[in-house]
Structure 1
Amino acid sequence: MKTSKTINQLSTVVTIFAISISCAVNAQAKSNEATFYQWPSTYKTDVSKANKKTYTSNEYWQVVTGEELNKGIKVYLSDASTLVKLTPKARFDQGEVFKPQNLELDHIKLGGNLVPNKQKLVQLAAQKEMALAGFKDGSIALKVQNASLAAPSILKYAKPLIANDKYIVHIKDKNSAFKLNVTAPLEIKKQFKPQLTVKAKLTNKQLSNSDVNARLISPLGESIALKYNNGKIDFSNELEQLGAVKGLYQVELDVSANHLANKIKRTIKVPFIQTAETANILTSDINIQSGNKGLINVTVPLSIAQAGRFAVKATLQGYTLNNQKIDIATAEVAQFLSYDGNLSMPFKVSGLTKGPYSLSNIILTDQTRMMVLPQDQVSKAIIEQDKAW
């Protein structure tokens, strides 16, 4: 009886295990199946894809300790009504979170030997109001009235703070004439020694290397110091991720430039991704065939360098019965591919159109790594079929 019972139990376990394997195989098979969608109407995507963007900053921020706040830190204002935000910065130690004590307006002082006492801090929002607005980090928002721009000011907290607690001091010169403009690429190619080239100006002032400190912030929040050299930032082995699957890389620039007896300080974050050609479309082998029931079957061959889920979006073009060329339909197909293979696009067309048909506005996306792949040649590919339908 015991043996029979044991066999039955073992049989049940094996059956459950077999069902689990079957479900896993079926799930894997389904995940490898192609997904196709045809939009209700056609549209064109700008496949020229400008690779540069300009960012502007009229603010800066820095991390200071409780000890530094008690002694007083220099802040550099370039707006008569500067905004100031002070935020306690949590720290992590052996898996525990430690939050600094909250700050109170009555103990925050702004002054300095060279600064007249007419400067005044006005509380824009108390911590309770900030929390109700979604800022639950203990922030306190202040506005400087009658700010003196002739020399650095001293921001000080009169009540004793824990020495190694950290706080973020955020200065925003909303109406300042001094703005940091940085133009940078949105992506850089993976190579032996990748490089990010930026063009940075503080109003009309060209920046020297000594004016700029740079650091890399990884998608996981890790910070690594970088060297800024005449607008060029070199990486060695800091960049591991392709695409934006876990977030963006950011280069944070701290700029400080002398201005009369004062300084102009600005901070800016420049986001980018690292790309590689994980797949490409063999445009010369794209095939367009007429099918049944108003279908035009398009086969798009892909060469795969790294396994992943890839999507092709394209617009089918053809002619009206009056021989005018038109966009007929826009569709997208996606599928996981480990090796070279074909993606099929069964376009459904109206009986009021005819061939020859062509494929245009082609975009290839690596969905696994969340990046649009280089497509200079793909975007110009027009696959014509000369025979009449």
Structure 2
Amino acid sequence: MHTFSKLAIILVLSGLFTACQDGATPVDLTNSNAIYKKGLTLAAPSDTDLVDSNIVSPTLEPINTSNDYISFISPLYGEYHAGIPKLEQTSQSNEYWLNVTGADLNAGVILTMSQASSLVRIAPRGDISSGALMHAEAIVPERVQIQRVAPKEESPQGKAANSSAVNSRDSLVKSMANADALASAGLTDDSSALQMSAKATPGRYRLQVSQPLTPSASYLVNVKEKGSPYQLSVKAPTAIAADTQTIGLELVLSQSDNTFVPQATLKQADGDMQPLAMVKQDETWQAVIPAGVALSSSNAGFSEIEFTVQTQVDGRPVQRTVKSVFKSYVNSASIKPEVLTVWDTGLPKQIDFELTVAEAGRFGLSGTLTGTNAEGQKVAILRTQAANWLTPESSTLKLMLDPKLIQASGLQPPFELNELELQDQGQMARLSYQANALILTP
């Protein structure tokens, strides 16, 4: 009897070993739950997905160098609606601004106004060109002079129109506010402001400051025309590859069919500015990046392009400035199509992704898991995120799921991983996005 029992055990173990060799599901003898792994393949990217397998090495210093693996799972409920990544942004402006110096303000700066009651703000700015921070002094609004200029006068050095009652500051300015008054309203940049009166009809004006100013001091002059029908709009990308040579965008001035040639300036996160050429192509514009000019000087901030338009609409001079902010990035990694899934009692527990990595860095993955209800609708179960430090030699990133949460949802297969997004956390940039990435089959 004793010998027969030993023989039975040997035969059972032999059968299990043979089953494993034949590729059947292995059984965890130390746990009553069946744990097994299965290789799957990501779905082919659609035309609207963001997938690029051509990778390059970043040139800027990363802002996140943590080596710790982190993972978060957030429960979700209700019918699933796919999120769409924001690829473009639209900005509108009923204002413009000029960067001037103290010398410019003392000599006089020409302003364009398309309607009465415009608001003029003068804000001192910091300057580090000397190697140390130099902050310009605040302007006393009582020392600001406003005069209307003759139609043909285009420069501060030209001859001003003869003064009259309508050209006096008392007639053109309705109210003033100094830095203290604006600070109490929440504007704490030492600005001063003038509210133009109803007599300040459309035209050109000279703003001049009689207060002695440091010639090299930096100031921002802002003219805002609230309620104006003339709005300058720009539609541009939110993320731009670092090696891009031209940036496609749309520029539209409402209530106007006039042709115009905008001026464009690239402003880096560190404050460096570079003029850009603008080329019209059919109904869109192309901002041309000069050879050797980088779209970003740091991963820590955003870059922006500032567009200024000057034109005439129904005999009124109109000037507008609008900004478009974007993130510059390099495609430093991509997701390989073959993934390894881990299952627990027939429910997905973990997905291991292999990445192609240009060089060592911190990368993150995220996605939304869905199941199917009795009506056949796709329902959200959870949102999962993970991040880790990866190298070209060690480039596996595991995305965790929660079998208990999946079971508690009462949803049935097919389970799907949607909104699969890869991020380079050293750049804080999205590298790829796939709306319907993976069908999880046991």
Give the C-alpha shift of residue 319 in structure 1.
4.9
Residue in 1 that maps onto 2:91: 55
Residue in 2 that maps onto 1:196: 247
Q: 1:206 to 1:308 in 2, by over 3 A?
A: farther
Conserved? CA contact 1:76–1:262, under 8 Å: no
1:311 and 2:364 matched: yes
Q: Rg bigger for which structure?
A: 2
Residue in 1 that maps onto 2:72: 37
Whole-angstrom distance in 2 between the partners of 1:344 and 1:53: 33
What letter is aligned with 1:310? Answer: F
User: How many matched pairs?
Assistant: 351
Q: 2:331 aligns with which of 253, 259, 277?
A: 277
Conserved? CA contact 1:200–1:207, under 8 Å: no
What letter is aligned with 2:326? Answer: F
Give the C-alpha shift of residue 172 in structure 1.
0.3
Residue in 1 that maps onto 2:267: 217
Q: TM-score scaled by structure 1?
A: 0.79
1:69 and 2:101 matched: no
What letter is aligned with 1:216? Answer: L
Q: 1:346 aligns with which of 400, 413, 417?
A: 400
What letter is aligned with 2:90? Answer: T
Q: Sequence identity, in percent?
A: 23
**1:118-169: CA deviation from partner (whole Å, max 9, x where unpaired):** 7432445321122344544321122111143342122222344444434321
Whole-angstrom distance in 2 between the partners of 1:125 and 1:178: 26
What letter is aligned with 1:49? Answer: P
Whole-angstrom distance in 2 between the partners of 1:266 and 1:298: 51
Give the 3-state SS of the residue equivalent to 2:311 in structure 1: strand
Give the 3-state SS of the residue equivalent to 2:220 in structure 1: strand
Whole-angstrom distance in 1 between the partners of 2:423 and 2:82: 14
Residue in 2 that maps onto 1:174: 226
Q: 1:102 aligns with which of 133, 138, 142?
A: 138
Conserved? CA contact 1:184–1:198, under 8 Å: yes
Conserved? CA contact 1:216–1:252, under 8 Å: yes
Q: Unaligned 5+ residue runs, structure 2?
A: 1-64, 151-160
What letter is aligned with 1:239? Answer: A
Conserved? CA contact 1:42–1:315, under 8 Å: no
Q: TM-score scaled by structure 2?
A: 0.70
Equivalent runs, 1:24-173 vs 2, <5 Å: 31-42=66-77, 46-92=82-128, 94-113=130-149, 116-117=166-167, 119-173=171-225
Conserved? CA contact 1:79–1:147, under 8 Å: no
Give the 3-state SS of the residue equivalent to 1:70 in structure 2: helix
Q: 1:360 to 1:166 in 2, by over 3 A?
A: closer
Could you tell which deviates more after superposition, 312-321 or 72-81?
312-321
Whole-angstrom distance in 2 between the partners of 1:202 and 1:304: 44
Whole-angstrom distance in 2 between the partners of 1:220 and 1:331: 35
Equivalent runs, 1:245-284 vs 2, <5 Å: 245-259=299-313, 262-283=316-337
Give the 3-state SS of the residue equivalent to 2:104 in structure 1: helix
Q: 1:55 to 1:356 in 2, by over 3 A?
A: closer
Whole-angstrom distance in 2 between the partners of 1:254 and 1:345: 46
Whole-angstrom distance in 2 between the partners of 1:46 and 1:112: 56
Give the C-alpha shift of residue 353 in structure 1.
4.9
Conserved? CA contact 1:69–1:156, under 8 Å: yes
Q: 1:60 to 1:356 in 2, by over 3 A?
A: closer
Give the 3-state SS of the residue equivalent to 1:131 in structure 2: helix
Residue in 2 that maps onto 1:205: 256
What letter is aligned with 2:435? Answer: S
Give the 3-state SS of the residue equivalent to 1:380 in structure 2: strand
Q: 2:439 aligns with which of 371, 379, 383?
A: 383
Conserved? CA contact 1:178–1:203, under 8 Å: yes
Whole-angstrom distance in 1 between the partners of 2:314 and 2:87: 37
Give the C-alpha shift of residue 257 in structure 1.
0.8
Whole-angstrom distance in 2 between the partners of 1:371 and 1:294: 32
**1:85-131: CA deviation from partner (whole Å, max 9, x where unpaired):** 01223333543333444322222222225583374324453211223
Residue in 2 that maps onto 1:238: 293
1:296 and 2:384 matched: no
1:372 and 2:424 matched: no
Whole-angstrom distance in 1 between the partners of 2:184 and 2:367: 46
Could you tell which deviates more after superposition, 115-124 or 330-339?
115-124
1:287 and 2:322 matched: no
Give the C-alpha shift of residue 307 in structure 1.
2.7
Q: 1:183 aligns with which of 217, 232, 235?
A: 235
Give the C-alpha shift of residue 175 in structure 1.
1.6
What RMSD, in angstroms, separates the aligned Cα atoms of the two structures? Answer: 3.0
Give the C-alpha shift of residue 278 in structure 1.
1.7
Q: 1:74 to 1:260 in 2, by over 3 A?
A: farther
What letter is aligned with 2:381? Answer: I
Conserved? CA contact 2:116–2:202, under 8 Å: no
Give the C-alpha shift of residue 241 in structure 1.
4.0
What letter is aligned with 2:73? Answer: Q
Q: 1:212 to 1:59 in 2, by over 3 A?
A: same
